[in-house]
Amino acid sequence: MHAQDKPVKFGDVLDVSGELDDQPVAPRDAARLQAAEQSVPGGTQKGGPAAVLQSVATVNARAGHVGRAQTACPVADAGATITETELAGRRVVTESVGGQVVGKMVTPAPVAMTDPPGALEKDAVTIGRALEAVGAMVGDRPVEQSDAAAVQVAELCATGSDSTNAREKLPADKGATWEDAERVVSAEIRNKLDMATTPGGMADAVTTAARLNQERPRP
């Protein structure tokens, strides 16, 4: 039997149980979670639960297994929700569909935007210095793909080049901003299965630098 001969169900692509497990994914189900993700800053992630549901819902609809207005009963009853909490300086975004948790993202707490931005000050904490600090703290820990992706984005933010030596390029370095922090965080979690940044890693370092710059006293 070919894959298109039967619908893709929630249990085929998400870790769910009960009635939801055996329900085919429909476009309206995916749209509900996608709308919930978009309501939270930084909530929408490439390869996240909403993107997965959107892909399989499209396949199911094209094969005629579900209608455009169809929705799974548990989703109709409990909907799709996202909750955001902060614990010990970490931001936790939890996604639920039909009353069941289907995704969790753990990142540094977001940096508040200020005007004027402290990152423009001459003595601002730079991205290059954050890179060097992480390099000094890594020690014997194996470098993962998420580390490499975060470093590449951080170097691009700092110097406009993703093939650089942080110390040699320091004169071209720039103060870390909340935009830089968001880009580095996004790069790191996109390359980790658990969607969580590494404590003391690149995302944490750039976020801390950006927060110090934003919260610094103004003359």
In the chain, % of residues over pLDDT 90: 26
Q: Which of 69-78, 116-125, 138-147, 163-172 has the highest mean pLDDT?
A: 69-78
- Predicted pLDDT at 168: 56
Contacts by 192-195 with C-beta closer than 8 Å and gap 24+?
192/144, 192/146, 194/104, 194/106, 195/45, 195/48, 195/103, 195/104, 195/105, 195/106
**Residue 23 in this model has a pLDDT that exceeds 50:** yes
**Residue 18 in this model has a pLDDT that exceeds 70:** yes
CB-based contact 93:9 (threshold 8 Å): no
- Predicted pLDDT at 117: 56
Query: How much is the mean pLDDT over the chain?
Result: 82
Question: Average pLDDT of 38-48?
Answer: 73
Confidence of residue 61 (pLDDT cuts 50, 70, 90): very high
